[in-house]
Amino acid sequence: MPRRVLILGGTSDGRALAELLRSRSGPSDSVVSSLAGRVRSPRLPPGEVRIGGFGGIAGLVAYLREQAVTHVVDATHPFAAGMTAHAAAACAQTAVPLTILRRPGWTAQPGDRWHRVSSLAAAAEVLPDLGSRAFLTTGRQDLAAFAGLDLWFLVRSVDPPDPPVPARMHSILARGPFTVDGETALLRKHAVDVLVTKDSGGADTAAKLTAARALGVPVVMVDRPPLPPGVPVVATPAEAVARL
């Protein structure tokens, strides 16, 4: 039976999975990667690509049926909780097997000064007690939680930030991977005394944590949202291929 795999992607793991599947698929198999479209110039995976939302659970159900999708791999960002929940619901309705691909989160190392919190709102609450010049790496769409704080913020994102944003803010447009030397220089240049980030995991953006450790800068680490119960989870693209 021909296999048609839908990868809910937009991440480096999603691109790696698309490459692996493309190299190992049979002549009648097909792979399509779906990107949310929130980045203006995304890095596209190989093969067939669709960009944009599905229109909620009902729209995803309709797509799975119309496209005769046989397998779904959710390789979205660890904080894309809404899409993951929609995928779980739609796959349950259509009896299409779902696998969640999630790279491991970061682990604190000796010398780290991490403050783990459960949400962006909680991060904003503890931030004033930890510093006055914050480096925000939570994404351009998550700045509203910090807009009311009377702190200075360095904000880095791929595309310009969406309002509302902090009143005192310096924005940098950049895309990883980043180096330890570059991150160390950035923290020093802007006299950053606290770093705020999500527990995204992966190597592309981990250099900031090494830099913060070396400089003694505290880190506010936002924990990942929980995954839907009962859905198989793998940690690497190779494990996802093996499961498929």
For residue 80, is it within any domain?
yes
Residues 202 and 233 in one domain: no
For residue 209, is pLDDT > 80? yes
Residues 210 and 161 in one domain: yes
Residues 49 and 129 in one domain: no
Residues 140 and 98 in one domain: no
Question: How many structural domains comprise the chain?
Answer: 2
CATH of the domain at 203: 3.40.50
Residues 11 and 63 in one domain: yes
Residues 98 and 177 in one domain: no
In Å, what is the CA distance from 10 to each residue of 52, 83, 118, 174? Answer: 11, 12, 24, 16
Residues 124 and 208 in one domain: yes
| Predicted TM-score (pTM) above 0.75 | yes
Residues 100 and 178 in one domain: no
The predicted structure's pLDDT at residue 84:
97
Q: Tell me the one-letter amino acid at 81.
A: A
For residue 1, is pLDDT > 80? no
Give the structural domain span for 161: 114-222
Residues 216 and 238 in one domain: no
What's the whole-number average pLDDT of the chain?
A: 94
Distance (Å, rounded) from C-alpha 21 to C-alpha 29? 9
The predicted structure's pLDDT at residue 10:
84
pLDDT tens figures, 113-145: 999 999 999 999 999 999 999 999 998 889 999
Residue 204's CB is within 10 A of a number of other CB atoms, namely 13
pLDDT tens figures, 25-54: 777 789 999 998 776 777 889 889 999 999
